[in-house]
Amino acid sequence: MEWVNAIVQGVLLGGLYALFAAGLSLIFGVMRLVNIAHGDLIVLAAYLGLTTTIALGVHPLTSLMIAVPAMAAIGYVLQRGVLNRTLGDDILPPLLVTFGLSVIIQNGLLEIYTADSQKMNAGAIETASLEVTGGISLGVLPLIMFATAVAVIAGLQLVFYRTALGRAFRATSDNQDIAQLMGLNKAHVFGLAMALSLAVVGIAGVFLGIRTSFDPAIGPGRLIFGFEAVIIGGLGNLWGTLAGGIILGVSQNIGAQIHPGWQTLAGHLAFLFVLAVRPRGLFPRIEG
Amino acid sequence: MPDALLETRALNAFYGDFQALFDVSVTVAPGEVLAIIGANGAGKTTLMRSVAGLLTNAADMVAFKGRPIGSMRADQVAQLGIAMVPEGRQLFPSLSVEENLVIGGQVGRSGPWTLRAVYALFPVLEERRDMPPTTLSGGQQQMVAIGRALMANPEMLLFDEISLGLAPIVIKSIYDALPEIIREGTSAIIVEQDITKAIAVSDRVYCLQEGRIALESASADASRDAIARAYFGT
């Protein structure tokens, strides 16, 4: 029964990893940009949530109302002001610039918030749980997070395939020049894509800060989890990304069940296994 | 030329250090259909890209309704009412046929061309509306590319190599549809390698040779000999 429990908890953890990964997947899909600062932006969002919680005295989940739009605005400005200038035929400049951004965010957070671990206190909801048959209980908070992850993925899917914005994303991803001929300003389209990506990061960051303790240095680790979820699921497939997150979460929890020190290792091993057997991921987007 | 809809004024266009056009001045009157002919590498596509804003130049080198647009981005030019059917069709593979058409209308200019009007012109597209464009034949893809440009309700249509890579029968059916496509009041520039076709549908013709205008003539007056001389530079 312990094993079943480990798997169930792993599935719920996978939702959080899918949230880490969704924004990463989205901007890679639209503009072929690999955002090395993604993990640090998640941590930035966590601190934003923390500051909101303390300054306004609101519940951590309420801080989403501030953190999400703030992160989206940061995303748009960042894209228009900095990242658009790095995009071109060469893939190296955006990598270098986002790497630099990662260093800046980490040290900026260290300067403002110190290296002390922080955690947002969500109160009674943190310990609330639902008893399922046979000794398995599901935490209400992890359930909320998982449901949110599913809703976010479904929402992104809807935006991508059912709205004018999604059409603009796909067209610009297909052919930037011709998309411009359709009256789409790619600088603006990319700005909106990054805004959407960082809105998801806002949710992911606040959830991270409620679920575990965090400090300015944990960003790169979250980036790795996000990358692994994207690659396991297959590039360009959002539901695949959710599946990738779940596989990663379940692997980590099974590893931890065997030996507490093996949690992270087990996740990496699962990732390497998928990479070796299915290099394009489990559910790659079908290309014409 | 007081009433030119579009004109290029001594257009010098560059790709980096390479100069592709030298002092090219062309004018298109409202409702006029212009043909641009010339050998491969003569600068026809460069001229198209310069007008559409995919290649930016000095502002006053291209004027639309007297307004300098040479340095505008392609999306800004599109909003003004210039639409292009690009060489090789260049449809969006991730979008369905219908989405390809709808995105063409995204510039938000109103006019006679709607989804319904495009489907009436090319009924086969309505049958294939939900398919990815990659599953269509070359001729059907060209219909989507034309429909996508029309959806913008442009005042100026640019056709870059419409018949390239298509079967003769398909080319014929597209040219048969042209009079309906280029309705009254709409101007067009047609870049074409098939000289006979280009002369037949146009009011005036320019021949480019190595980035320079080698011939300008009313299409009805253009003799085979004069075109051949301008084309090959003999």
Q: Can you give the pLDDT at residue A286?
A: 52
pLDDT digits (tens, 9 = 90+) for A189-241: 999 999 999 999 999 999 999 999 999 999 999 999 999 999 999 887 899 99
Provide, rounded to the nearest whole percent, the portion of chain B with pLDDT above 70: 98
Q: Report the domain count for chain B.
A: 1
CA–CA gap between residue A145 and residue A151 (Å, rounded) = 10
The verdict on residue B32 lying in a domain is yes
Chain B contact for A170, CB < 8 A?
A: yes
Q: Can you give the pLDDT at residue A134?
A: 73
A109 or B161, higher pLDDT: A109
- Asked if A182 and B54 come within 8 Å (Cβ–Cβ), the reply is no
The verdict on residue A205 lying in a domain is yes
Q: Can you give the pLDDT at residue A288?
A: 33
Instruction: List the Cα angle B9/B13/B14 in 5-degree steps.
Output: 160
Q: What crossing angle do the helices spanning A38-56 and A186-211 adopt, rounded to 10°?
A: 60
Q: What letter does residue A284 receive in the DSSP assignment? A: P
Q: Report the domain count for chain A.
A: 1
Q: Can you give the pLDDT at residue B1?
A: 45
Residue type, A258: I
The contacts of residue A34 (CB under 8 Å, 6+ apart) are: A28, A91, A94, A95, A98
- Cα atoms in the Cβ-side hemisphere of radius 13 Å centred on A58: 16
B2 or B174, higher pLDDT: B174
Residue B5 has pLDDT above 80, yes or no: yes
Average pLDDT over residues A60-80: 97
H-run or E-run covering A256: helix A238-258
Instruction: List the Cα angle A4/A6/A8 in 5-degree steps.
Output: 70
Structure tokens at A236: 């360009």
- Asked if B73 and A180 come within 8 Å (Cβ–Cβ), the reply is yes
Q: How large is the ipTM?
A: 0.91
Torsional sign, CA B218, B58, B84, B185: negative
Domain coverage including residue A210: 2-118+180-277
Report how many Cβ contacts below 8 Å link chain A to chain B. Answer: 68
The verdict on residue B117 lying in a domain is yes
Give the SS3 label for residue B42.
Answer: coil
Nearest to B75 among A167, A174, A180 (CB): A180
Domain coverage including residue B69: 6-232
The verdict on residue A114 lying in a domain is yes
The verdict on residue A51 lying in a domain is yes
Average pLDDT over residues A8-34: 94
The verdict on residue A155 lying in a domain is no
pLDDT digits (tens, 9 = 90+) for B65-103: 999 999 999 999 999 999 999 999 999 999 999 999 999
pLDDT digits (tens, 9 = 90+) for B17-67: 999 999 999 999 999 999 999 988 899 999 999 999 999 999 999 999 999
Structure tokens at A245: 């997150």
pLDDT digits (tens, 9 = 90+) for B193-206: 888 888 999 999 99
Q: What letter does residue B6 receive in the DSSP assignment? A: E
At B88, which CATH number? Answer: 3.40.50.300
**Average pLDDT taken over every residue of chain A:** 94
Candidate from A18-27, B1-10, B104-113, B135-144 with smallest mean pLDDT: B1-10
**Average pLDDT taken over every residue of chain B:** 92
**Position A283 confidence tier, pLDDT thresholds 50, 70, 90:** confident
- CA B149, distance to chain mean position in Å, is 9
Give the SS3 label for residue B223.
Answer: coil
- Rounded to a whole number of angstroms, the distance from the CA of B40 to the nearest CA of chain A is 22
A191 or B170, higher pLDDT: A191
- Rounded to a whole number of angstroms, the distance from the CA of A231 to the nearest CA of chain B is 21
- Asked if B99 and A167 come within 8 Å (Cβ–Cβ), the reply is yes
The verdict on residue A157 lying in a domain is no
Q: Can you give the pLDDT at residue B205?
A: 95
The verdict on residue A153 lying in a domain is no
The verdict on residue A130 lying in a domain is no
The verdict on residue A282 lying in a domain is no
pLDDT digits (tens, 9 = 90+) for A113-149: 999 999 999 989 888 998 887 778 899 999 999 999 9
